Chain A
Amino acid sequence: MDSRARNLLDEALGLDQLTQLKPPLGGKAVLIEDCVETSGSFVLHQLIKRLLTAVPNSSNVVLFLAFANPFSHYDRILRKLGCNLGAQREKGRFIFVDMLNVECPVGEEGKAGGRSGLFALFANITKVLNALPESNRKCLTIVIDDVSLMEVAAHGSSDHVLDFLHYCHTLTSDYGCSLVTLNHEDIYSSMDGLVFLKQMEYAADVLVKVEPLATGLAADVHGQFDGLQMTVLNRGSLNNRMSNFQFRIKENSVEYFYPGARA
């Protein structure tokens, strides 16, 4: 069951064959979408765990921009999953940037000495990237745990947040590093908000949509992935792989199974 479970999500994300030589997500941009009823943060936890512990002595580095929860929350959860974030942080493989109380006001361009918060944040990211040896830069994964809170931090400047994300995307193409973001799909139901979400979806290579079951809550099945899409550029042709499977979240693991196939 374990190896099968690992294959369903990992296979969909391309994490089933992690090696020391290959970058973890292959320079992809992953977008996780969830809603109030079902949180998608467990996907973030699984990804971090796979990136940091799947291959021993790997040079994978995770740069985590935390807008939603403090370090203690993630530390506790990842410990139960078998990953010691404190130790990884000390080794320089997990870089936690606490953005919970940080405002990112957008200053006017051209203002002397004025650097907007998002600009400074991106500068920090490139600083971390440049501090890594050149051969290891593709092993960096930037994780943003809540893009909607980044908009709040930027006082509603969604355009600037999109620009920031596009700059992060350029890092994936220039350096081969990966980007994982989480956003709440149900926030962007109005026409204006839809543009923001669609732009994020368009730029993403992998889209993971987490939603509750149509029948409501269940103790055995906590939700489902609605069309895990992956656009793969394979020798000039685009392949769209769709996966629909369900999940059950436990303290120390997550079970994935096709509908009706739960053992």
Chain B
Amino acid sequence: MAATKTRTSSFSRNLPAASSAQSPEIKCGPNGTFLVSSGIPDLDKTLGGGIPLGSLVMVMEDSEAPHHMLLLRNFMSQGLVHKQPLLYASPSKDPRGFLGTLPSPSSPKDDKSRSHDAEQEKGLRIAWQYKKYFGENQSNLDGQRGMILFRFIVLYNKQEFSNEFDLRRPLDRHFYTGQHVDCISTKDLPNIAALQERCTSFLSQFSRYICTFFAIDFVCFTNLLIVTFRNDATVACTGRIAIQSLCAPQCESSNMEWEMLSFIRSLKSTVRSANAVAIITFPSSLVSATFCKRWQHLADCLVSVKAIPDEDKELAKLLTGYQDIVGFLNIHRVPRINTQVPAVLEATTLSIKLQKRRYLVLECLNQAPVDGSSGSSYGTSGNCSGASSKSGSLDF
């Protein structure tokens, strides 16, 4: 198996330099890993920069609210915007129809109260000026054609590692109508083997050693070709798998618990040796406790989403900005590939907010100010323990 080879070849070393320098969609992570964005900048930041390639992300759904769909949509959109091949499986009869609901990257014209807005707009202004640059150098093309085209391609392909997505604007059709997007309905699959086969064949195109070969093959060409081909090879060599509601009751194979586990184990090991990331959401309340724990142990990254009760007066007094919060995201496990050091997060519970009802934002929970004289939160009668028992696993 490729992963068991000793590190004597220089092939494995060249890809990191190529990837980090030329492909903004992938960045170098710690311990020799490469990171891709989850599509949610706040989540990327919490996870240490992004999701490592080779990870299996599992999201425990809350049966009371579809907040896992927010995570899934942003994850899929991010991959499509970066032209990364996508395999999407869902229990609906027409999974391809779901692609029309994916959010589009927000445009710079939108008014956002983010601190890095100014920098982003500056970057886009440069991109818009590329035509002017083209016109100025028309007379001096011979000696500088390579550089002009280099600049053109870099600006044209200027992508960010992570985008802000506008949930009210659907993604342009051209992002998902290509052959690089594959959809499967898990509803009528008699067993999980069919899904397993599709995943395996999808992941076979992202073997790490194929990508390295492409990067090395063109290293002796000009700078222009290096940029072009390394970009294409690297981006095309990174894939995403999104499986929605695995083990949903409407699927025929949902009660085959050991087969499900076997599939997840197989997917995990195949993803690990590929330049890909897989995300699986599943209704944890519908899986037996024992198997739920087994699923959790299989995850490299484990998160759960929870709905927030409406009109909860106790919670409203405990948290600031309660009215903007739609739910909670709990991070149970952060990917620890190639390292034994556990990740200690500042907070493992984040609030899910929809800023201006368009942008998905994750924030640390902020406790309401405590009245100094009485020692209790404003407006409460010292019901902190009551509130905390309702909020369960909240971690400030």
CB neighbours (8 Å) of B288 from chain A are: 190
Question: CA A192 – CA B332 in complex, angstroms?
Answer: 26
Choose one: A39, A152, A188, A189; the contact of B258 (CB below 8 Å): A152
CB neighbours (8 Å) of B262 from chain A are: 103, 152-153, 155
Choose one: A38, A90, A98; the contact of B342 (CB below 8 Å): A38
Contacting B at CB under 8 A, from A43-101, are: 45, 69-73, 75-77, 86, 89-90, 96, 98, 100-101
A242 in contact (CB, < 8 A): no
Give min CB distance, A181 to chain B, whole Å.
Answer: 15
Q: Mark A9-53, 1 if CB is under 8 A from B, else 0.
A: 000000000000000000000000000111101100100000000
In the complex where A36-B297, A152-B261, A249-B340 touch, is A70 in contact with B272 (Cβ < 8 A)? yes
B126 in contact (CB, < 8 A): no
Report yes or no: A249 in contact with B342, Cβ–Cβ below 8 A: yes
Choose one: B266, B302, B340; the contact of A77 (CB below 8 Å): B340
In the complex where A152-B258, A251-B341 touch, is A39 in contact with B336 (Cβ < 8 A)? yes
Q: Which of A118-126, A165-173, A215-223, A232-240 interfaces with chain B?
A: A215-223
Report yes or no: A101 in contact with B266, Cβ–Cβ below 8 A: yes
Q: List the A residue with the shortest CB-CB distance to B266.
A: A101
Contacting B at CB under 8 A, from A165-189, are: 184, 186-189
B289 in contact (CB, < 8 A): yes
Report yes or no: B290 in contact with A193, Cβ–Cβ below 8 A: yes
CB neighbours (8 Å) of A188 from chain B are: 290
B273 in contact (CB, < 8 A): yes
B296 in contact (CB, < 8 A): yes
Report yes or no: A77 in contact with B290, Cβ–Cβ below 8 A: no
In the complex where A73-B337, A222-B342 touch, is A186 in contact with B258 (Cβ < 8 A)? no
Q: Which of B1-9, B66-74, B89-97 interfaces with chain A?
A: B1-9
Give min CB distance, A19 to chain B, whole Å.
Answer: 27
B172 in contact (CB, < 8 A): no
Report yes or no: A156 in contact with B3, Cβ–Cβ below 8 A: no
Question: CA A38 – CA B343 in complex, angstroms?
Answer: 10
Choose one: B4, B296, B302; the contact of A70 (CB below 8 Å): B4
Give min CB distance, B345 to chain A, whole Å.
Answer: 7
Report yes or no: A187 in contact with B3, Cβ–Cβ below 8 A: no
Report yes or no: B3 in contact with A42, Cβ–Cβ below 8 A: no
Report yes or no: B344 in contact with A187, Cβ–Cβ below 8 A: no
Report yes or no: B342 in contact with A100, Cβ–Cβ below 8 A: no
Q: List the B residue with the shortest CB-CB distance to A97.
A: B4
Report yes or no: B348 in contact with A153, Cβ–Cβ below 8 A: no
Question: CA A129 – CA B289 in complex, angstroms?
Answer: 39
CB neighbours (8 Å) of B269 from chain A are: 70, 100-101
B373 in contact (CB, < 8 A): no
A149 in contact (CB, < 8 A): yes
Report yes or no: B31 in contact with A187, Cβ–Cβ below 8 A: no
CB neighbours (8 Å) of A152 from chain B are: 258, 261-262, 265, 294
A-B contact pairs, 29 of them (CB 8 A): A36-B302, A36-B332, A37-B332, A38-B342, A45-B340, A70-B4, A70-B273, A71-B3, A72-B4, A75-B7, A77-B338, A86-B6, A89-B6, A98-B3, A100-B269, A103-B262, A152-B258, A152-B261, A152-B262, A153-B262, A155-B258, A155-B262, A156-B257, A156-B258, A189-B293, A190-B290, A217-B345, A219-B344, A222-B342
Query: Which of A's residues lie within 8 Å of B, judged by CB?
Result: 36-39, 41-42, 45, 69-73, 75-77, 86, 89-90, 96, 98, 100-101, 103, 148-149, 152-153, 155-156, 184, 186-190, 192-193, 216-219, 222, 249-251
* Given A72-B4, A188-B290, A218-B344, 5 more pairs with CB closer than 8 A: A38-B342, A70-B269, A148-B294, A156-B261, A189-B289
